[in-house]
Structure 1
Amino acid sequence: MVEVAAAARRSAQPSLRRRLLAFLLIPVGVLLLLDALLTYGVALAYSNHVHDRDLGDDALTLAQMLRGDRLEDTVSPQARFLLAYDPDEGSYFSVRSRLHGVLADNAQFRQIAPPPVDQPPVLYDATLGSHKLRVAAVSIRPDFDPRDTLTVTKAETLADRHRRAREILLMAVPLQTLLILGVLSLVWFGVDYGLRVLQPLTARLAARGREITPIGEEDVPQEILPLTRTIDALFMRLRDTLALQERFIADAAHQLRTPLAGLSLHVERALADDSPQTLRDALGHMRRLTLRAARTSAQLLALTRAQSPLAEPATHVPVDLARLVPEAVSLRVPEALAARIDLGYHGPPGPLPVNGDAASLHEMLDNLLDNALRYAGPGSSVTVSLVASPGGGVRLRVEDDGPGVPDALLSRLGERFFRVPGTNEEGTGLGLAIVQHIAERHRATIRYLRTAQHGLSVEVQFPPPAAA
């Protein structure tokens, strides 16, 4: 049953060989039918030509035979026998004299005006009841009466013509069928042989194991180059994703090792001394270490999302920064008041649209505010501002009047796990790295500057919505 189900699945899958053969067999079958119709038409035309010539010759021969007879009201018995003789039983005749009228006939069919005397026979179509006839008429002058004109008309049905055409068709169709079968055999062999060019590529891919490097183009046919290039692009994205996953695991192990070791130390301390003061002090340290581990984990996940190659810019939609930024700033006001920091916002009243993802932009602003509130210090001020750029973009600025960053270290801001030496505040060194990657996803540029009050100013320049 398993083998039957597997065979059914294989037969249901699309096959390039079946597709090519079906694409060729159907037109070839139609071509064979059209060829049969064309052959029959040509054969019928040839049969009509031969029969017309013979019919005209018969009419002319009969007229020449009657030229020397003395004709009055009828023809001689010998002439009537020749006129009535018909081996195919589908022949009709008529002999008319201009002076004596109808001398002999065996059917009443349509007659035309007598053709010119002593000219080649005239052929035309006529009907006799439900039968179609082909008629040949010729006119001569009798030898015994030059005043008279003798018109001999010979007619026959079309049955023998069609019979001869069918005979020719039956002789031609088998030969044409054999020829087409030979062509199809060559096509079958050609398709099978042509698909063998994929075997080296298949063998090379099968031998790679878990390797996800690009396929390359050395043995790839031109027709499937677009497919292999698409697979190569997929491999590149997959490799980037795996590398990002490995980096996340390594970063998590590195960053969480210290908080976890601290937690273990304080747990052992609390177990060794159960005095209330020791327990309170250990629990306080454990709380701070737990918050630090949770923050580190959250920022590592945020950095991984920002770096992920699956976060395509094509999913970006228009976002109004003039609405998003004030809302994000207002959520951090209680935190700023608790830290004795003056947090403010300045921006135009009108909308300032950019193309982006609202959640990512909110996360970027949160990290900028978190960095400013954490390192500016009590008694300082943090200002968030939005300005419409002359070229149609938007500039977001977060500046503070705290201790700032030395000029020599400004270029290193945004690196993963980089922290300014001498900083006493706890941090992971990931906040500005997250900001950097989110800005790159939005085609924005970042500048780190010292303010006039020796603080830090972070400027994010967004492009116009159309350019983004």
Structure 2
Amino acid sequence: MSDTDAAPVTSAPPQPWLYRILTPDGRQSLRRRLLAFLLIPLMLMLMIESLITYAGALIYSNHVHDRDLADNVSTMAQMLSKENVNGEISAQARFLLDYDSEGHNYFSVSSQKHGLLAGNPQLQPPSAATGDPTLFNTTQEHRKLRAASISIPAAHDPSDKLTLTMAETLRDRHQRAREILFLSIPAQALLIAAVFALVWYGVRIGLRALDPLTKRLAAREHDLAPISDVDVPVEILPLTRTIDGLFARLRGMLALQERFIADAAHQLRTPLAGLRVHVERAQADPSPATVNDALEHIQRLTNRASRTSTQLLALTRAQSPEHETGVHALIDLGRFIPELLSLRVHEALAAGVDLGYDGPSAPVWIDGDRTTLQELLDNLIDNSLRYAGRDSIVTVAITIEDDRQVCLSIEDNGPGVPAEFLARLGERFFRVPGCHEEGTGLGLAIVQRIAERHRARVHYLSSNEGGLRVEILFPPAQTGKG
């Protein structure tokens, strides 16, 4: 077989990577699925919490370093305020300002009269207030700096003013924030692990609520009763109700099967017994007259058995739940019925019956299934041809009622049915007492069931000619005519 001839492989829907890790064997697990979808949010929460913690730690670190930077600027300003600065600062002050653990000197001392006295000429504050230091951000050599600046009066010249600016990089600030984050991560991870363990335990305990239902189902053998009960959790009620619906359909199918077997055994018992009797009679007396008579009876009984089995199968199909979901299409009865009648004309002529049609020329629309409607009409015609008798008239008609219902009727002028038995027509295996024509009693039962599938109503009436009139009222068509 070539690759193109191989059957397509249906792949399972993609699962989260964490779920695939938790299910290495590929088997579905409700517990693992719940844990996978709970653990992912918990991990996301840990990441978000870490970001929040780092941001808070950075804010705290900035606050501490800003306070230290402001204190350093104030301390150096007090030292300079006591020195006699005349164009330069003292060696001790320069040493303190030059010291930096990273080897970078970010400071400047300038005089209002003499200009820059020491430090970096590019490190100039936007403005410096006398009193409290002013903090601001700046950049030097592509480095982001945090600076503090303060102005003080010169000791040797009250008319002069000194401005001191000191700056530092942000490395220590971020380092302190990372240290705080690394200290908090183990505690947060431990908390997440504890929550996950509690979730794991909770899921295990929660899924034990399914144990009573599992035990009840395991204890069953052939019981198809509903499984929904008070001990079924609300979350799986849709599942149990779906299973109950499946059980109900299975019960219907099994009941239909049992009824079919019982009906077949009941209806075929008589023709089979007759066949055995006539076979034995022919075997006992092999004379041509006896054999021919036995063969005629065998043929008649065989036809009866064949018709009975066909009718039983037709009734079973009409009662099958599969037909409930059949797709109905728009059908023009004004065209469909005459087409079906034309197929039965030769049979009617052979039976000596005048088969006619009376209906409007305009389309008459209903929602229906063509196959079952043909079976419905065939059974109605079979019933009329069989019981109306020779030289009778059978008329199939279509009319539209005042409420837009479509009436399909078949009427004959035969012997009819006594009024007290009209209500029982349509029952399975019911035959009017005193009727000597062969039949199974299933034809009108099939008509009744097919009509119900089309949401139609069946009425059995006495015709004006003394025979039987069967009316089937179809609801107005709901399907658009396109």
Name the TM-score, length of structure 1 as normaliser: 0.95
SS across alignment from 1:209: coil
Q: Partner residue of 1:69?
A: 83
SS across alignment from 1:344: strand
Aligned in 2, Cα 1:379/1:271: closer, same or farther, shift over 3 Å? Answer: same
SS across alignment from 2:106: strand
Name which of 309, 319, 330 aligns with 1:297. 309
Distance 2:318 2:158 in 1: 115
* 1:78 equivalent in alignment to 2:89: no
* 1:93 equivalent in alignment to 2:107: yes
Name which of 139, 142, 166 aligns with 1:127. 139
Q: Contact 2:86/2:156 (CA < 8 Å) preserved in 1?
A: no
Aligned in 2, Cα 1:91/1:365: closer, same or farther, shift over 3 Å? Answer: farther
SS across alignment from 1:342: strand
* 1:34 equivalent in alignment to 2:69: no
Partner AA of 2:156 in structure 1: F
SS across alignment from 2:403: coil
Q: Deviations over 1:137-169 (max 9, x none)?
A: 111112332211111000001111111111011
Name which of 336, 345, 349 aligns with 1:337. 349
1:279, distance to aligned residue in structure 2 (A): 1.6
Distance 1:134 1:225 in 2: 64
Distance 1:69 1:128 in 2: 29
Q: Partner residue of 1:430?
A: 442
Q: Contact 1:121/1:138 (CA < 8 Å) preserved in 2?
A: yes
SS across alignment from 1:138: strand
Aligned in 2, Cα 1:360/1:314: closer, same or farther, shift over 3 Å? Answer: closer
SS across alignment from 1:411: helix
Q: Contact 1:109/1:126 (CA < 8 Å) preserved in 2?
A: no
SS across alignment from 1:70: coil
1:74, distance to aligned residue in structure 2 (A): 0.8
1:12, distance to aligned residue in structure 2 (A): 3.0
Name which of 350, 362, 366 aligns with 2:362. 350
SS across alignment from 1:268: helix
1:72, distance to aligned residue in structure 2 (A): 1.0
Aligned in 2, Cα 1:91/1:261: closer, same or farther, shift over 3 Å? Answer: farther
Q: Partner residue of 2:270?
A: 258
How does 1:227-306 map onto structure 2 within 5 Å? Answer: 227-306=239-318
* 1:115 equivalent in alignment to 2:128: yes
Q: Partner residue of 1:4?
A: none
1:89, distance to aligned residue in structure 2 (A): 4.3
* 1:416 equivalent in alignment to 2:428: yes
Distance 1:314 1:306 in 2: 11
Q: Contact 1:217/1:225 (CA < 8 Å) preserved in 2?
A: no
Q: Contact 2:410/2:470 (CA < 8 Å) preserved in 1?
A: yes
Aligned in 2, Cα 1:73/1:146: closer, same or farther, shift over 3 Å? Answer: same
Aligned in 2, Cα 1:99/1:173: closer, same or farther, shift over 3 Å? Answer: same
SS across alignment from 1:166: helix
Q: Contact 2:386/2:437 (CA < 8 Å) preserved in 1?
A: yes
Name which of 396, 407, 412 aligns with 1:384. 396
1:91, distance to aligned residue in structure 2 (A): 5.2
Unaligned 5+ residue runs, structure 2? Answer: 1-22
Q: Partner residue of 1:394?
A: 406
Question: How many corresponding residue pairs?
Answer: 458
1:24, distance to aligned residue in structure 2 (A): 0.6
1:393, distance to aligned residue in structure 2 (A): 2.6
Q: Contact 1:109/1:127 (CA < 8 Å) preserved in 2?
A: no
Partner AA of 1:112 in structure 2: P
Q: Contact 2:330/2:479 (CA < 8 Å) preserved in 1?
A: no
Q: Contact 2:106/2:123 (CA < 8 Å) preserved in 1?
A: no
Could you tell which deviates more after superposition, 82-91 or 292-301?
Answer: 82-91
Q: Partner residue of 2:19?
A: none
Aligned in 2, Cα 1:247/1:113: closer, same or farther, shift over 3 Å? Answer: closer
Q: Contact 2:108/2:123 (CA < 8 Å) preserved in 1?
A: no
Name the TM-score, length of structure 2 as normaliser: 0.92
Distance 1:420 1:398 in 2: 19
Unaligned 5+ residue runs, structure 1? Answer: 1-8
Q: Partner residue of 2:26?
A: 12
Name which of 162, 176, 187 aligns with 1:150. 162
Partner AA of 1:377 in structure 2: G
Aligned in 2, Cα 1:184/1:108: closer, same or farther, shift over 3 Å? Answer: farther
Q: Partner residue of 1:103?
A: 117
1:87, distance to aligned residue in structure 2 (A): 4.1
Q: Deviations over 1:105-147 (max 9, x none)?
A: 1x454423441222x2111111121221111111111233221
